[in-house]
Structure 1
Amino acid sequence: MRTAINKKRIVLYAVCAFFFCLAGVFQAVDSSLPDFWHALFALLAHTILISLVVAWGVSLIHRMVRKDLRAYFLMVAVLILFFLVVRMIRYGLTRDTDALSRYLWYAYYVPQMFIPPTILLAAFSIESKKGKPLAKAWYLLYIPAVILFLLIFTNDAHEWAFALNFENGFSYEHRTVFYIALAWEIAVTFTSLIVLILKCGISACRRKTWIPVTVFIVCVAVSAVCFLTDTPAFKIPELLCFTCIVMIESCIAIGLIPSNDEYENYFYRSAYSAVITDENLSVIYDSEKSISTDKNLLGRAAKSPVMIDENTRLSAEKIHGGYAFRIEDLSKINEINAALSETNERLSEENYIIEAENELKEQKAQIAEQNKLYAKMDEVTCEELKRLDALLSDMYRKTQLNSTEYIDKMRFACILAAYIKRRSNLVMLAEKQENIDVGELSLAIKESLGFLSLTGAECTFDCAVSGKIYDKTAGVFYDFFEACIANYEGLPSAVIVRLSKRGDHLVLRIECDNKTEEISEKIKSKFEEYNVTIQTDDEEVYYSLTLPEGGAV
C-alpha cells in the first residue's frame, strides 16, 4: 500500500513537471510564431501555469493538518497565482512602452518579496504548540519585504532597481535594489529550509534532508542559467515562484512539513469499525474491521442508533455528501454495567448489614443506658428495697391476714414502695437534665405523706420554693425526709414538713413526735457530711437539713 502511494506521488510529480516544461516550451517558441499561434501558445502557457498553482493550492487544503500552516502556505499559493495573473494581463493586454505595463511588471515583486518571509514564518510556527500563534514580533520580517517592494514600485522616480531605456523600443538594466531583492529572496528562502531542518525532531526525516537541499540548489542553478542566458522559456520571477513550490513539496514529501495525503489508507488501517457512504447509502470507504451491513440497516441507523446485538451498536453521523457509520462494541461497557450492578447489590446487602449492626449497637447502647440507670436506682434505693423485702417476707411467714399487725405492716410497706417509686423517678429525671423542677420533689414528699396518713398520722406539707433545683439536692432532701418519717418502730402520729429558702440556702424542716434517740443517731450518722440539726422539746422533735441553693430559682 505504501509503495503504491509513493508510486502514485512520483507519477503525479512527473505529470506536473511535464506540464511545467510544456508551458516553458510554449513560451520559448511563441515569439517566433504568427500572431494567432503566438496568442494561442501564450494563452496555453499561462493557463497551464495558473492551473498548476490552483491545483497545488487545492491540494494544500486537503493535505495540511494544522490550520496555521494551511493559512501560511495558502497565502504563498495566492501570491504566486497573483503573479501569474498579473503576468498574463501584462503580456496579453499591454505593450512594453506603456506605463501600465511597467507597473504590472513591478507588481511581479509583490509575491517575490512576500513569499519568502511567509515561508519562514511557517517554518517557525511548526515548532510552536498546536493552536498557539506565533509571537507578533516575528511579523516584523515583512518590513524589509515592504521596503524593497516600495523601492521597486517607485522605480520610475529613481531607477535604483532598473535603468529604463525607451529608445529603439523598451529595454532595461538591473541595478542595486534588484540584486538586493534577489539576494533577499534566496537568503530568506534558504533560511526557511535550514529552520525546517533544524526544528525537525524526527530522525527518519532528518536523514532525508538532502532532498530539499538538493532541490533548492538545482532550482537556484536553473534560475541562474536562465537569467544569464536570458532564455524566453522562463523568466526569473516565475522561476523563483515555482522554486518555492518545489521546495515546499519536497519538504512535505519527506515529512519536514506535517501533512497527510493518505486519508483513505489511514481510514482503512484505523482501529475503528466504520464505513463512509454517499447520500444514497452506497459504501465509499470502509475500514479493515468494518462489518457488512445492508442499506435497510444503514437507513435505520441514519435516523437513530440501532442495536445489532446486545454488545454491538450501529450509529451514524451526517457529514458533507453522505454519512459516516461506526460500529460500537459495547461488550466492555456491558461488562462494566454488570459489574456495577453486582457491586450495587453487594453494597445494598452490606448497607443492610451495616444498618442492622447500627440498629443492634443502638439497642445495646439503650440497654447499657437502661442498665446504668437501673444500677443508679438500685444504688439509691437498695436499703429501702431490702427493708421492703424483709418486711414482706416476715408478713408472709408470720402475720395472719386481716390482723391489725398485718394491716400496719402493709401500710408501712406502702410508704417504702412510694419512696422507692418516687426516688427512682428522681433518678430518671436527673438522667435527662441536670436541674429538675422543685414540683417533682414536692410531689414525692406529698405522696409519701399520703401513705403515712393511712396510719392515722396527721400530715402537713408546705413548699415555699419554686423553680429548678439540682437533681442531687432533690435526692438528698427526699432521702432525709424518708429517714425521718419511715421508721416502723417509731412512726409519727403528726408530721409537719416545710421546704423553704434562707438566704442562698434551701432548708427542709420536719416537725414530728417520734423523738427516739435511735432515730436521731441514725440520721446524724447517715447525713454527717451535710448540715443537719436535730432539736427536741418535751413532745416534739425538729429535724432540719440545709443545703446550698444551687439550682433553685
Structure 2
Amino acid sequence: MEKNHRRTAQKKEAGMMGQRQREQVQRGCAVGTVVLLAWLCRVLPLEGLPSGLQEACGILRSLLYLSLFAGWGISLYNRTVHPQVRRLLLNVDLLMLFWILVRTLRFQLNTPPGMDRMLGYLYYAPMLGIPVLCVQLVLTVDRSERYRLSAWARMLWLPSAVLLELVLTNDLHQQVFRLQQPWNENYQYGWLFGLVVGWIVICILLAFGIIAHKSRNPRILRRLPLPAIPMVLLGVYAVLYGFHIPLIKQFLGDMTIVHCLMTAASLEGGLRCGLIQSNTGYEELLRVTSLAVQLVDRQGNVYCCSENGRMVDRRELQAAMHGTVQLDEHTLLRSAPVQGGYVMWQTDITELVENMERLKENRTELAERNYLEQQNYEVERKINALREKKRLYDLLQRQLAPQIIRMDQLLTRYRAAPEEEKRQLLGQVAVLGAYLKRGANLMFLAQQHRYVPSAELRYALEESISSLELAGVECAMEVTHEARLPAEAAAACYSRFESVVEGALGQLDALFVRAIWKDHRLNLYLSVETGADLKAACPAAVQEAPGSWVLNDHFEGGAPECGTN
C-alpha cells in the first residue's frame, strides 16, 4: 500500500514538475514576444506612414518595455527571500524604469535642445547607480537578514554622485562631452567621460570579483557564466556603440533598452544559478534532502514532495495548516506558512515514543517502589510508636511502682479494716491515685515538650490537695501564674511534693505548698504539720519544732536539686 502511495506521489510530482517547466517556457516566450514586438516597432521602416502612427508605435514600444520591467520588478518581489537583497534588486528595477521613462520623454516629446541635453545627461543616473547597487547586492547575498552594509560599501555612492554631478553640469565645463555650437548631435568625449566609464567598469569587475571569491561551491562556479555572459555582451556592445558602428546603430541603436535588458538578464542569471537566494528551486532541494517535506497550496494541493515524504490525505493536510496532526503512532505532521501556501514536514517520533514508554515504565516502577517504601515507613513508624509507648510505660512503671505497691497495700488493709479506719484509708488511696494520674501526665509532657504551662503544675497540686482535704488535712497553696516552666522541673517539683506527702501520709494534719518561678528556676516551699519523721522521705526537710517541718527546694529543668536556705 505504501509503495502504491509512493508511486502515485512520484507520478503526481513528475506531472507537476512538467507543468512548472511548461509554465517557465511560456513565461520565456511571453518575454521574448514582448521584446520582439518592441524591437519591430523600432526597426521596421515607418517613413511612409503618417506621423501619428509613427508616434503611436514609439509610445507602444515604450509601454511594452515599461510593462515588461514593471512585471519583472513584481516577480523579483515575489521570488526574493532576503529583505535586503529584495530592496537592492527593486532599486535596480526602479532605476531601469526611470531610465526608460527619461528616454521616452526625450524621444517622444518635441523638447527644446537644452531640455534634450539634460534628459540625455540624466541617463547617467541609472548608468552610475546600477553598478553600485550590484556591488552592494553581491556583498549582501550570503549575509543574514540583519546584515548592514559596511561604511566602505556605502561610500561607493560618493564617486557615483560626484561623477553624476559632473555629467549634469557638463554645459559649464565641457569635460565629459565636448559639444559644438550651435548644439547638435555631433560631440566628442572628454577626459571625464573616461572616468565615468572607468568607474562603471570598476564596479562591474568588483562585483564579479566578489562573486568569484564567495563562490567556493564548484557547482556554482560552473554556473557563474550564466550571469557573466550578459555583462560581457554588454561590454562588447558598449565598445561597438562608442565607435558608431552602422549595423549596431541600425538594429541595436537603443542603448537604454540594451543596457536594461542585459543587466536584467545578468541578475536573472544570478537568481537562476543560485547566487541570489530566491523562492524557487524547491524541486532540486527536495530531491536531495533526506527529510519528509511537502509544499502545498492553501487548498491542500501538493506542489512538490521529497522522496522520503509519505502520501498524506488532503483533509489531513488542511488540518495541519492549523496545528500539528498525528498521522500514526510514530509520525507527526507539522506546517509553517510560506508565500502562497504551506511547507509541511513529517517528524518521526519513534524515539520519543520509546522514551515515553520507558518513562511510563519507570514511573510505574517508581510508584510501586514508593508504595513499598511508604508501607515500610508506616510499619516502621508504628513499630517506633509502639516502642516509644513501651518505653514510656516502662518509665511510668518504674517511677510510679512505689505508689502502686502502696496503693495495693492500702486497699488490702481497707478490706479488713474497721469502719472508722476505712475513711482514712480511702483518703490515702485518693492521694496516691491523684499522683498516679497527674504525675504520669507531667512525665508524658516532659518526654514530649521542653516547656509546659504553669497551669499543668497547678492542676496537679490542686487535685492532690483536694484528695488530702477529703482525708481531713488542712491545706493551702500558692502557684505561679502565666509562666512557662521547664517540663522536667515541673515533674520533679510535683514528685518532691508527693515524696513529702507520702512520708507524712496517715499522720498529716496541715500542709502549705508554694511553687514560684523566680530567678530562672522553679522554687518549692513546703510547710508541713505532722507527727511523722520526714527525714526518711526527704533528707532536706528541716524540723523547726516538734511536729513542724519545712522544705526549701529548687529545680532548673534537669535533675532536681534538694537543699535548704
The answer to whether the 8 Å contact 1:128/1:134 transfers is: no
Q: For residues 60-92 of structure 1, what are the alpha-carbon distances to aligned partners after superposition, in whole Å with 9 as ceiling and x for unaligned?
A: 122212222111111111111111122122111
Sort the Cα spacing of 1:47 and 1:462 in 2 relative to 1 into closer, same or farther, 3 A.
closer
Match of 1:83 among 99, 105, 111: 99
Q: Give the letter aligned to residue 123 of structure 2.
A: Y
Do the aligned partners of 1:411 and 1:451 also contact (CA within 8 Å) in 2? yes
Q: Distance in 1 between matches of 2:408 and 2:541?
A: 33
What residue identity is the alignment partner of 2:297? I
Residues 138 and 314 (structure 1), Cα distance of their counterparts in 2 relative to 1, 3 Å cut: closer
Residue of 142, 153, 164 corresponding to 1:127:
142
SS of residue matched to 2:243: helix
Cα shift at 1:23: 4.8
Return the offset for 1:228: 1.7
CA distance in 1, matches of 2:336, 2:277: 28
CA contact (8 A) 1:477 1:545 kept: no
- Counterpart CA distance in 1 for 2:283 and 2:428 is 110
Cα deviations across residues 97-130 of structure 1 (Å, max 9, x unaligned)? 5222222212211211211111212221223212
Deviation at 1:353, TM superposition (A): 7.1
SS at match of 1:520: coil
1:226–1:235 contact (8 Å) kept in structure 2: no
Aligned to 1:106: 121
**C-alpha displacement at 1:33, in angstroms?**
6.3
Distance 1:100 1:542 in 2: 141
Q: Distance in 1 between matches of 2:139 and 2:337?
A: 37
Query: 431-440 or 125-134: which moved more?
Result: 431-440
Counterpart-to-counterpart distance in 2, 1:218 and 1:212: 11
Corresponding residue for residue 542 of structure 1 = 549
The question of whether the paired residues in 1 share the 8 Å contact of 2:407 and 2:432 is answered with no
Superposition pairs of residues 493-508 of structure 1, within 5 angstroms: 493-499=508-514, 504=519, 506-508=523-525
Please report how far the alpha carbon of residue 223 of structure 1 lies from its aligned counterpart in structure 2 after TM superposition.
2.3
The unaligned stretches of length 5 or more in structure 2 are 1-13, 559-565
Structure 1 residue aligned with 2:168? 153
1:63–1:261: 8 Å Cα contact kept in structure 2? yes
Q: Taking structure 1 as reference, are residues 358 and 333 closer, same or farther at Cα in structure 2, changes over 3 Å only?
A: same
Task: Tell me, in whole angstroms, the C-alpha distance in 2 between the residues paired with 1:188 and 1:447.
Answer: 114
Please state whether the residue corresponding to 1:545 is helix, strand or coil. Answer: strand
Q: Which residue number corresponds to residue 227 of structure 2?
A: 212
Secondary structure of 1:546's counterpart equals: strand
User: Residues 471 and 404 (structure 1 numbering): CA distance in 2 closer, same or farther, change over 3 Å?
Assistant: farther
Instruction: Report deviation, 1:400.
Output: 8.0
Aligned counterpart, 1:414: 430
How is 1:463-502 mapped onto 2 (pairs within 5 angstroms)? 463=478, 465-468=480-483, 469-487=485-503, 491-499=506-514
In structure 1, runs of 5+ residues without a counterpart are 525-531
Pairing partner for 1:226 from 241, 255, 274: 241
Cα distance in 1 for residues equivalent to 2:295 and 2:155: 47
Give yes or no for contact 1:27–1:234 (8 Å, CA) kept in 2. Answer: no
Q: Is this contact kept in 1: 2:514–2:525, CA < 8 A? A: yes
Which amino acid is the alignment partner of residue 525 of structure 2? Answer: L
**Is 1:403 aligned to residue 417 of structure 2?**
yes
* C-alpha contact (below 8 Å) 1:484/1:543 kept by paired residues: no
**Partner-residue secondary structure (3-state), 1:259:** coil
Judge which range, 224-233 or 326-335, deviates more: 326-335
Q: Distance in 2 between the 1:485 and 1:308 partners?
A: 87
TM-score normalized by the length of structure 1: 0.75
3-state SS, counterpart of residue 275 of structure 2: coil
Letter in 1 for 2:532: K
* d(CA) in 1 for partners of 2:456, 2:27: 110
Q: What per-residue deviation string (whole Å, max 9, x for no partner) do you get for residues 325-367 of structure 1?
A: 9899999899799969999988888887777777667666665
Q: Equivalent pairs: percent with the same residue? A: 19
- The aligned residue for residue 562 of structure 2 is none
Q: Which residue of 1 aligns with 2:527?
A: 510
The alignment covers a number of residue pairs equal to 527
Deviations 1:402-426 (CA, angstroms, capped at 9, x unpaired): 5349946655443322212111122
User: Deviation at 1:43?
Assistant: 4.5
Deviates more, 1:147-156 or 1:493-502: 493-502
Question: Partners of 1:221 and 1:502 in 2: how far apart?
Answer: 118
1 CA distance for matches of 2:350 and 2:197?
64
Task: Find the aligned partners of 2:365 and 2:535 in 1 and give their Cα distance.
Answer: 71
- Structure 2 SS opposite 1:416: helix
The alpha carbon displacement at 1:544 in A equals 0.9
Between the aligned partners of 1:412 and 1:285, the Cα distance in structure 2 is 108
Provide the C-alpha distance between the structure 2 equivalents of 1:390 and 1:509, rounded to a whole number of angstroms: 23
Residue 385 in structure 1 maps to residue 393 in structure 2: no
Distance 1:478 1:374 in 2: 19
Q: 2:270 aligns with which of 248, 251, 259?
A: 251
Q: Distance in 1 between matches of 2:326 and 2:449?
A: 70
**Cα-Cα RMSD:** 4.9
2:133 matches 1:118: yes
Q: Is the 8 A contact 2:99 2:126 kept in 1?
A: yes
355-364 vs 438-447, greater mean Cα deviation: 355-364
1:36-115 equivalence runs, <5 A: 39=55, 42-43=58-59, 45-94=61-110, 98-115=113-130
